[in-house]
Amino acid sequence: MSLNVDTEQPFFSHLFELRDRLIRIVVVILVAFLALFSFGNQIYTMVAEPLMQHLPEGTSMIATEVASPFLTPMKLSLVAAIFLTIPFTLYQFWAFIAPGLYKHERKMVIPLVVSSTLLFYLGVAFAFYVVFPLVFAFLTGTAPEGVAVMTDMGRYLDFILTLFFAFGLAFEVPIAVIILIWTGATTREKLSRGRPYVIVGAFVLGMLLTPPDVISQTLLALPMWVLFEFGLIASSFFVRKKRDDEEEESDDDNEPDSESDDVSDDDSSSDKSEADTRYPDDYVAPTDEEKEAELDRLEWEDEDDWAEDEDDESWNGPGDDAESPDATGAEDADAIINDLNESRLKRVMELRQQGDVAEARKLLYEVLANGNNDQIMVARNILEQLDQE
């Protein structure tokens, strides 16, 4: 039962979030529509200007349906509201999918979303200011003699909306090229080799998406070809940026943590002198007398042979300044001390697992008092870790 709850809950939470974002999009569009509705007639007059300039004198646009004078401006206001709120709509979809993307993918999506929005608006502006005057001049100029060109306002709106969407989507060609190359669906070299097919396809799309005239078809196909070439050029930058971001993320994932850094520091700095060692704030360095006494205790308590030979004349004890042991005895003493400190460090690890920090600190201080450079560095690092816990 709990398994079903754990697996279904994230799915429904995503659905709820998607629902909330769609509601926000609809609310914003409705607010923009209400704001533009009262200006519907003025907006229609503005978009009808390219045709009105080329209508013969004495003619005008007509309304063949009863409700067209009211419904057509209202429809245009709704479409204008959708056009104007495209950035907000894209942002909501971006905010919904962004948590599921990698870091380098988020870096790529933001410029792609912004550039696709600008290109869509640029396509609409190109259609309105460049294509419409040429197309309407051609169409009205080819009317047979005696035929009055009087376009229905509803049919005209459908015509220009089709062209708006056609040119807006056609100007997204660079984004499509970049995404295809970026996702690995194809390569820049393959698309370059397929340039003749792209040119033919652009003219075919121009024929299908525009009125049956050569001017509008050409005006749509040529920008698509130019934008395709621009997408090939821009894709090299995006693909290189993607590769750099992936390598950066890989380096971040492979970067060792602080504890492994401490261990590597131990290995690389084992030849450092004890004077360069950094101790914790609560550590008090032992005096020479305390070190000597600790060595005496270790040698006399942990080595039975030395304890039996305590009264022997050839050995006056490690603390006797009158006579020093021979070289072999000194090496044995160092080996014993090192072994004992290794045992203490192992015991410290067991005490840490048991939670006995006080006893672990005590053993670490003993290692700091008489250990070699490697043991001192290890004890210091463990003390620093205990201070951070």
Domain match, 323 and 359 both: yes
Rounded CA-CA distance 170/165 in Å is: 8
Q: Is the pLDDT score of 209 beyond 80? A: no
pLDDT for the residue numbered 111? 81
Model pLDDT for residues 54-112, shown as the tens digit of each residue: 887 777 888 888 888 999 999 999 999 999 999 899 888 888 887 777 777 777 778 88
Domain match, 313 and 378 both: yes
Single out the residue in 194, 225, 254 at which a domain terminates.
254
pLDDT for the residue numbered 25? 95
Could you list the residue range(s) of the whole structural domain that residue 237 is in? 9-254
In a domain, 68, yes or no: yes
Mean pLDDT, residues 256-285 taken together: 46
Domain match, 103 and 237 both: yes
In a domain, 88, yes or no: yes
Question: How many domains does the chain fold into?
Answer: 2
Domain match, 93 and 236 both: yes
In a domain, 73, yes or no: yes
Supply the DSSP string of 343-376, one letter for each residue: HHHHHHHHHHHHT-HHHHHHHHHHHHHH--HHHH
Q: Is the pLDDT score of 22 beyond 90? A: yes
pLDDT for the residue numbered 210? 73
Domain match, 230 and 300 both: no
Supply the DSSP string of 255-277, one letter for each residue: S--HHHHHHHHHHHTTTS-GGG-
Single out the residue in 221, 254, 287 at which a domain terminates.
254
Mean pLDDT, residues 174-191 taken together: 83
Model pLDDT for residues 221-243, shown as the tens digit of each residue: 888 888 888 888 887 776 666 55
pLDDT for the residue numbered 151? 87
pLDDT for the residue numbered 66? 87
Rounded CA-CA distance 389/1 in Å is: 38
Domain match, 296 and 356 both: yes
In a domain, 246, yes or no: yes
- 218-232 per-residue burial string, b: 16 or more CB within 10 A, e: under 16: bbbbebbbebbebbb
pLDDT tier at 289 (50, 70, 90 boundaries)? low
Rounded CA-CA distance 229/194 in Å is: 12
Domain match, 246 and 269 both: no
What percent of the chain lies above the pLDDT cut of 90? Answer: 17
Q: Is the pTM of this model over 0.75?
A: no
Domain match, 230 and 351 both: no
In a domain, 259, yes or no: no
In a domain, 195, yes or no: yes
pLDDT for the residue numbered 118? 92
In a domain, 234, yes or no: yes
Neighbours of 217 (CB within 10 A): 20
Single out the residue in 210, 226, 254 at which a domain terminates.
254
In a domain, 37, yes or no: yes
Burial of 13 (0-12, 13-18, 19+ CB in 10 A): exposed
Domain match, 201 and 61 both: yes
Domain match, 211 and 301 both: no
Domain match, 271 and 248 both: no
pLDDT for the residue numbered 259? 44
